[in-house]
Amino acid sequence: MNYTNLGKDTPILDGLEKVTGRARFVPDLKVEGMLYGKVLRSPYPHARLLKIDTSKAERVSGVKGIITGNNVSQHRFGTMVPDWVILPRDKVRFHGDEIAAVAANSEEAAAEAASLIKVEYEELPAVYDPELAMAEDAPQLYEDKENNIAVTFNVHTGNVDDALAKADLVFEETYETNQVYQAHMEPMGALVVPGDYERLIMWLSTQVPSMSRLRYAEALEMCSEDLRIIKPHVGGGFGAKFEYKSHILAAVLTRKTGLPVRMVNCREEDFRAGNPRVPMKIWVKLGLKKDGTLLAKDTKIIAGNGARTVYAPAITSTACYRIDSLYKFQNVRSTGYTVYTNTIPTSCFRGFGNAQMHFAMESALDTICHQNNLDPIEIRKLNGVTPGFTSIHGWEINSCALKECLEKATQESDWYEKKKEADQKGPVKKGIGVAICNHVSGNRPFYKPFDGSSSLVRLTPEGKAIVFTGEADIGQGMNTTFALIAAEAVGLNVKDVRTAAVDTDISPFGLGSFATRGTTIGGRAVYEAAINLKKQLIEHVARVYEKQAEEIKINNGKIYFAGNEEPLPVAEAMQQISYTLGGTSLVGHGVFVPNTVLPDENKYGNVSPAYPFACHIAEVEVDTETGKIRLLNYWAVHDVGRVLNKQTLEGQIEGGVMMGAGWVLGEDMVLKDGALVNPNFHDYCLPTAMDIPRGKIYSYFMESDDPNGPFGAKGIGEPSLNPVPAAIANAVFDAVGVRITDLPITPEKILAGLDI
Amino acid sequence: MTNSSKKRGLLTISFKLNQEDYTMEINSDERLLDLIRNRLGLIGTKESCGGGECGACTIIMNGLAVNSCIIPAARADGAEIITIEGLSKGMEDELHPLQKSFLEKGAVQCGYCTPGMLLSAKAFLDQNSGREVSREDIKEAISGNICRCTGYQKIVEAIYSYALERKGNN
Ligand code: FES
Ligand code: FES
């Protein structure tokens, strides 16, 4: 298939404003009379609120409004569990929990007033470890949540006990994944402006504009149509930028003062009260035949929810069972507890639980292969799902190039040669490790009421197309992908297409950027809208130019007729068409409702229209004297269905690999008595340019042409990270024979492992 | 009775910013970043950590890339400053070749780190104008600038390819 716009390196269409510094993010937005919001946060991990005195704070000059639990509604709402209130009246549950919020005419005045709010606390016993929190005598966070369990997930399909009894090999291990921070470079923030008709206009740094509107309407007890959400440029999200308490506080302050309020986290707040990755303790038991055929998987997971529920229960269930559709399992059982602790509420972070479980599963397979002299590549080929396969949970694997990914990665990395390399002299040892992954492109159970997306594409009298979608570009290049899809589907050149910023007054509803759904679900809706537009365009060209619709073709911005007639530029035709239609634009409308199935009580369903796959191979060097690990090369082969934009795909992979590498090789949110001891980039070490592989991150793409994705495309955002922790951990083991089962893999752990 | 405006010393400073002369009255505890963003309205200089640890607020001051969030505005007295707005002018002006290279090579995703990254790269290349630079040199030069989106590889390539092209033109 020859495409005009697809499969190339297309620089992002909003790059110009970014390289010139003109792109505006929430912290860059200012309106006349704007106030600055500041949140007062709890200095205790668990305490009863006895008294809040704001009298001194109110007298600070410039202060326009203060809200506390005493003067805001106490109704409960929430994302998955109704355990949120705007501000609490009874108690605080984590170090960083919101107690009050101030709006003042300068940042200094807001900060000073917040510091002058006097709160009397009665400290309560606290619990930080999810496993300990489940104990009978553990301090309880919510009266109605026994053993601090927010949600329990259970699945059992087949007969695990039987299968384990019959297995030749049974392997058991416990893995731990730690809490890490998304570290989006733009901190979370909002600007709320009072609108006409008593509406609120909210400029949000968010990945879910439409869903936020629904949730904030519930929080503010308003009609969602009275909230207008606008998403400017967003400086990264990676899962953190979902519904957020401070957005609501800014809105309440705006209603109270009648003035615009901007509330932006400082970095420390973003650390202390963001939505970090769900930490997990994962027990895995696997049964196999002698040849490596997987017979059964038994898992128990205890996951940290933090002090209130954001999306951790969905993340825990994902960790429990998504990987069951990577391999051809016959018997699986999983129990997952999402448990309250007096710590920062946890939530989505690239990989959404599947990343945590991949660390466990892919590490386990590596150990099994090592112990039983099995080939880690072959065992994955033997067990991996194949095109047309229906998984144990009913997931229909349409397109799947997993085997091809394994082959390509093995070949490009020279895997078998490197595995053969004899004993290495000197203190620095090289190693190589493999891991594979699956993921979704949209997740049916995430938002129960419905699945899908819709879009409008408008063709102006000048022949330019504008794509309207509610799906959010958060810096990953979605807007460019949408424009490419529309351009190709209509037959335009992408330089004549742009995607409008999300504005809920104008854009169709879009669930948002999560579950790697943008390209496949959002993109397919854009495709449908573009096809609808093309049909209209052809009909009007036929009418105005007196031609047969069947003989009209559109490509690269030109309209072709039968025979040798000169092609007509779309812009020229559109001008004529608009003259006959009162100057109108043509608007294509498209809807995509995927053929997914909401899982039933046995978790049987089909959660996504398309499943992406990948194989990663990491090559590392470990210094046995210092324990230091260095990435040498990295091969990432992805089944993306179809390459729409090679450059942004590579960008997602390189970013995902380094984000995963940062996690495995050192990132860690360290708590002491419930307080985060490293809430800054000095003590919380993110990868820098010095940490990228000494050689290269090599990206390759397999085009499996998915029947549901636009032009066959599947998602990339999260699969780029899922296999990274295990690929690196396995490479480290290959290098020095030290198996680390709890993240991060630090030099200290390596040295301790070498000592034994 | 409390008052938010503590007694602060007022100073007058003069500096050159993006080729223009300025004389301004500042508070002694004012950060250079706030002067640039809030008082001059040049929002291309970003704040991300506010503690000198990420490079989002990088500007070039007297030829050196510095973090404007930890520099008192008073230090700008007599200085020559370039912000991202000074790398190319207005919407009509041609981009600096580094900006072009970032665009073409896919070195930009969300763009929040981009202005700081570009200025660190420019200061580094200007300081090494007569010298060949390696990818390793570049990695070191931008190691104070955090990018969470790109994994750095395309940024290093963008800077490296411009460095080569520049050498070819010399
Ligand atoms: S904002 Fe100045 S170094 Fe991070
Ligand atoms: S492009 Fe997003 S932080 Fe660098």
Same domain, B126 and B70: no
Task: Give the DSSP letter string of A615-626.
Answer: EEEEEEEEETTT
Lowest mean pLDDT among A421-425, A587-591, A615-619, B29-33: A421-425
Taking only the tens place, the pLDDT of each residue in A165-206 is 999 999 999 999 999 999 999 999 999 999 999 999 999 999
The domain in which residue B136 lies consists of: 97-169
Mean pLDDT, chain A, as a whole number?
97
Asked if residue A73 has pLDDT above 60, the reply is: yes
pLDDT at A756: 64
From the list A475, A650, A681, the residue facing B53 with the nearest CB is A681
Q: Is residue B5 part of a domain?
A: no
Domain end (from B33, B62, B86):
B86
Same domain, B78 and B112: no
Mutation for testing the B interface, residue in A14, A19, A478, A631 having most B CBs under 10 Å: A19
Taking only the tens place, the pLDDT of each residue in A677-710 is 999 999 999 999 999 999 999 999 999 999 999 9
Same domain, B76 and B140: no
Taking only the tens place, the pLDDT of each residue in B23-35 is 999 999 999 999 9
Closest atom, ligand 1, to C-alpha of B54: 4
Q: Is residue B92 part of a domain?
A: no
Distances (CA, A) of A26 to A269, A480, B109: 16, 21, 17
Kindly provide the ipTM of the predicted complex, given to two decimals: 0.97
CA distance A97 to A120: 15
Where does the pLDDT of residue A564 fall: very low under 50, low under 70, confident under 90, or very high at 90 and above? confident
Where does the pLDDT of residue B166 fall: very low under 50, low under 70, confident under 90, or very high at 90 and above? confident
Same domain, B43 and B101: no
Same domain, B78 and B121: no
CATH code, B77? 3.10.20.30
Task: Give the DSSP letter string of A127-149.
Answer: ---HHHHTSTTSPPSSTTSGGGE
Q: Which of A393, A281, A24 has its CA nearest to residue B110? A: A24
Same domain, B79 and B39: yes
- The contacts of residue A669 (CB under 8 Å, 6+ apart) are A178, A179, A180, A181, A271, A276, A344, A676, A678, A684
With a CB-CB cutoff of 8 Å, which residues 8-47 of chain B face chain A?
42-47
Q: Please compute the mean of the pLDDT values over residues B10-15 and round it to a whole number.
A: 96
Look at chain B and report how many structural domains it folds into. Answer: 2
Taking only the tens place, the pLDDT of each residue in A641-677 is 999 999 999 999 999 999 999 999 999 999 999 999 9
CA distance A137 to A119: 28
Q: Is residue B3 part of a domain?
A: no
Q: Is residue B1 part of a domain?
A: no
Taking only the tens place, the pLDDT of each residue in A448-480 is 999 999 999 999 999 999 999 999 999 999 999
Q: Which of A22, A373, A312, A692 has its CA nearest to residue B154? A: A692
> Minimum-distance ligand to the CA of A659?
2
Where does the pLDDT of residue B1 fall: very low under 50, low under 70, confident under 90, or very high at 90 and above? very low
Across the interface, whether the CB atoms of B103 and A11 are under 8 A apart is answered: yes
Asked if residue A368 has pLDDT above 60, the reply is: yes
- The answer to whether B103 and A19 are in contact (CB under 8 A) is yes
Instruction: Specify burial of residue A448 (Cβ count, 10 A radius: 0-12, 13-18, 19+).
Output: exposed
User: How many C-beta atoms lie closer than 10 Å to residue A79's C-beta?
Assistant: 20
Taking only the tens place, the pLDDT of each residue in A596-616 is 999 999 999 999 999 999 999
Same domain, B16 and B81: yes
Asked if residue A379 has pLDDT above 70, the reply is: yes
Same domain, B64 and B117: no
Q: Is residue B23 part of a domain?
A: yes
Asked if residue B5 has pLDDT above 50, the reply is: no
% helix / strand / coil in chain B, to the nearest 5?
40, 15, 45
pLDDT at B66: 98
pLDDT at B170: 56
Q: Please compute the mean of the pLDDT values over residues A224-247 and round it to a whole number.
A: 98
Domain end (from B61, B86, B111):
B86
Asked if residue A391 has pLDDT above 70, the reply is: yes
Asked if residue A285 has pLDDT above 90, the reply is: yes
Domain end (from B67, B86, B105):
B86
Same domain, B15 and B80: yes
Residue ranges of domains in chain A, CATH in brackets: 26-124+185-236+241-273 (3.90.1170.50), 280-444+600-753 (3.30.365.10), 452-592 (3.30.365.10)
pLDDT over 90 percentage in chain A:
98
Where does the pLDDT of residue A417 fall: very low under 50, low under 70, confident under 90, or very high at 90 and above? very high
Asked if residue A354 has pLDDT above 60, the reply is: yes
Q: Is residue B91 part of a domain?
A: no
Same domain, B111 and B164: yes
Asked if residue A1 has pLDDT above 80, the reply is: no
Asked if residue B8 has pLDDT above 70, the reply is: no
A269 CB within 8 Å of a chain B CB? no
From the list A108, A113, A688, the residue facing B146 with the nearest CB is A688
pLDDT over 70 percentage in chain A:
100
Same domain, B75 and B102: no
CATH code, B141? 1.10.150.120
Same domain, B118 and B55: no
- Give yes or no for residue B145 CB within 6 A of ligand 2: no
Residue bearing tokens 């936020």: A212
pLDDT at A242: 97
Asked if residue A421 has pLDDT above 90, the reply is: no
Where does the pLDDT of residue A299 fall: very low under 50, low under 70, confident under 90, or very high at 90 and above? very high
Q: Is residue B4 part of a domain?
A: no
pLDDT at B161: 97
Q: Please compute the mean of the pLDDT values over residues A99-106 and round it to a whole number.
A: 98
Asked if residue B4 has pLDDT above 50, the reply is: no
